[in-house]
Structure 1
């Protein structure tokens, strides 16, 4: 199994970088892991809705160019389904049983993702009803992937 996270933007704060690297190290015991960062398109604070949509379209093309077509694609989305950690773990297992050898998670910018990403996504995942910065969403996702593998392997993990 290979886990890929395609994220728009990079981690800026050192504590988030360290946390991300720690979870990547932990996940590597269970799966190959790759994080691909796509540069966030620059927008002025007074950007129009059209400017935002244009930027999302540019980011979308860059994202699509990095997606392995044989991967199961999970888009992080406010319109997605919320899962418990156990359900998330079961989903990872089902994806593997269904014959996929890789899972690609896509995290958009603070403006979200272009509409075309929905066309290539096999599943939409909502981390929470709460709003998180997209940088923190990456760390939360990494922690849940790690937790999912621990659950799958019957290993203890704090609750």
Structure 2
């Protein structure tokens, strides 16, 4: 099983990088994990909707170049479906046993994902109606993927 975390921007804060490294290490016994970062676009605080759309489209083009045709694509989107940890584990299990060997989780930049990226999603996943920094979302996503593998292998994990 290969899992790709495809995201916009680099993680600057050491504490986030440390957490990402820890969950990457834990996940190595369950899957081949790849984290692919594409560069983000600079955006002014007073950007117009047109400027926002241009930024999202540029970032989206970079993301789309990294999505393989045979991958099952989860786009993290605030309007996506919310699952609990067991449901996510079951969803991943079903995909893996159904023949999907590559899952891609896409995390947008600070402005979110372009319409073109959202259209390529096989599944739109939401972790909350709240907004999280995209660097923190990477940590939360990795933790939930790790938890999913623990659940599907009937291994203990704190609740």
Same fold (TM over 0.5): yes
**Cα deviation digits, residues 69-127 of structure 1 (max 9, x gap):** 10000000011011010000000001112211010000001100000012210000001
Deviation at residue 68 of structure 1 after TM alignment: 1.3
Q: Cα RMSD between the aligned structures? A: 0.7
Q: Match for residue 97 of structure 1? A: 97
Counterparts in 2 of 1:46-65, with a 5 A limit? 46-65=46-65
- Tell me which residue corresponds to 1:123: 123
Alignment pair present for 1:10 and 2:27: no
CA positional deviation for 1:129? 2.3
Q: State the distance in 2 between where 1:18 and 1:128 align.
A: 24
Q: TM-score, normalised by structure 1?
A: 0.98
CA–CA separation in structure 2 for the residues paired with 1:46 and 1:84: 36
Q: How many pairs were matched up? A: 159
**Where do 5+ consecutive residues of structure 1 fail to align?**
none
Runs of 4+ with deviation above 3 angstroms: none
> How many Å separate the matches in 2 of 1:19 and 1:71?
26
Shifted more, 69-78 versus 43-52: the winner is 43-52
2:25 matched residue in structure 1: 25
SS state at 2:65 partner:
helix
- Is the CA contact 2:73–2:103 (under 8 Å) kept in the aligned structure 1? yes
Structure 2 distance, partners of 1:7, 1:72, is 16
Q: What TM-score do the two structures reach when normalised by structure 2?
A: 0.98
Whole-Å separation in 1 of the counterparts to 2:157 and 2:58: 40
Aligned counterparts of 1:129 and 1:62: Cα–Cα separation in 2: 26
Give the equivalent residue in structure 2 for 1:39: 39
Q: Would the aligned equivalents of 2:60 and 2:117 in 1 still touch at CA under 8 Å?
A: yes
Aligned positions of 1:139-150 closer than 5 A: 139-150=139-150
Listed as ranges, the gaps of 5+ residues in structure 2 are none
